[in-house]
Amino acid sequence: MKKIFFSAGVAIIAALAAVGCKQEIALTKSGLNPADFDSEYDGQKTALYALTNSKGMEVCITNFGGRIVSVIVPDRNGAFQDVVLGFDKVSDYFPENHATDFGAVIGRYANRINQGRFTLDGTEYQLAQNNFGHCLHGGPKGWQYHVFTVVESDSEHVKLELISPDGDENFPGTVKAYVTYTLMEDNSLDIRYEAITDAPTIINMTNHSYFNLSGDPANHSITEDELYVNAATFTPVDSTFMTSGEILPVAGTPMDFTQPKQIGRDINRRDFDQIAFGNGYDHNFVLDTQRDDSVVALECYSPASGIVLKVYTDEPGIQVYSGNFLDGTTVGKKGVTYQQRSAICFETQKYPDTPNKPDWPSAVLRPGETYSSHCVFAFATR
């Protein structure tokens, strides 16, 4: 396959003019300089990969954390907008500079595991504790802070591999995991996850992109957007964001998005404990899609740009996080300061703390089995 790989030696195109010698930088459509992603982390090389289609859409991905760096889609007027938050150079994603999940592949276990403990086949495992005593997103050095190996790439797709050794953040078993990003001609980004293990373990992968569908996070909050979630129930949390084990109806509560409504309508309802605990939305919704990835799980619409995002998945749940803890201290692409609720995340997943709740869909992976998960981010306008 043709390999689309930007590095310092490839990204800079020397154009010899008739008079003198002039050097020009080949930027991506989103304005990224690929040379700014040509680096190393833990002795492994990082780079930027650009996916494009005939409609003019572009998705840029770095193998550091398997992160989506930019997503360029047309708005209702045909102008192209970058609809995800992130940074202009790979070093800003390094945890010593910014410990963020922007655009990342999350593993081994997305979301939280209660007190970082679970029991599998009679053995109790104690994981790293990095969020109110819980294990969040695989621990303090989850997969979002590892360099993935690129095993395939061309102008339409990139396939990344990560080998997570036995004992990685105290998870059992050596896991070989893959994520494949494919940009489709219908302006959808197809994400497929796979993994195998040499010993019983748990796994729950997702993507943690922060979306602002206006393309202008400096001036438009996601509270202005409309959201529909195909879920009549959700899993409530306590003040440490840990699920109780209950599954409750959304009807009659601020959690009800079964009909499209403005995200900001109920986001400050401090009289409702779930909103008070989360400082907004940070909850798993139990999807009514029956794990059918041809059925819309969620739809978000920006009236500012006319851009619509539809999410499809074969997972049983989706976490909606409304950027409550963005606080104006992070400066992202093009010098934009990311304020509270300047983006929203849609994380397709098993439910939080599933390993400790046997009645919920299992996250166990055993030798001889293949973990698989599918998510589609489909873009359109209206």
Residues facing 196 on adjacent strands: 176
d(CA 238, CA 277): 7
Task: Give the pLDDT of the chain (382 residues) as one tens digit per residue.
Answer: 433 444 433 333 333 333 344 456 799 999 999 999 999 999 999 999 999 999 999 999 999 999 999 999 999 999 999 999 999 999 999 999 999 999 999 999 999 999 999 999 999 999 999 999 999 999 999 999 999 999 999 999 999 999 999 999 999 999 999 999 999 999 999 999 999 999 999 999 999 999 999 999 999 999 999 999 999 999 999 999 999 999 999 999 999 999 999 999 999 999 999 999 989 999 999 999 999 999 999 999 999 999 999 999 999 999 999 999 999 999 999 999 999 999 999 999 999 999 999 999 999 999 999 999 999 999 999 9
d(CA 69, CA 59): 8
d(CA 141, CA 137): 9
* Residue where the block lists tokens 């202008």: 216
Candidates 197, 100, 193; CA nearest to 142 is 100
d(CA 17, CA 22): 6
Candidates 129, 125, 169, 176; CA nearest to 149 is 176
Q: In this structure, which amino acid lies at residue 309?
A: L
CATH topology of domain 8-381: Beta-galactosidase; Chain A, domain 5 (2.70.98)
Instruction: Tell me if residue 302 falls in helix, strand or coil.
Output: coil
**What values do phi and psi take at 2, rounded to 5?**
-70, 130
* Residue where the block lists tokens 């994603």: 93
User: DSSP code of 356?
Assistant: G
| Residue 308 token pair | 């619509």
Task: State how beta strands 226-229 and 298-301 pair.
Answer: antiparallel
Residue 376, by phi and psi: left (phi above 0), alpha (psi -120 to 50) or beta? beta
Write down the domain spans for the chain: 8-381
Catalytic positions, please? 208, 347
CA triplet 254, 256, 258: central angle to 5 degrees? 160
What is the structure's pLDDT at 278?
86
For the chain, the first-to-last Cα distance in angstroms comes to 36
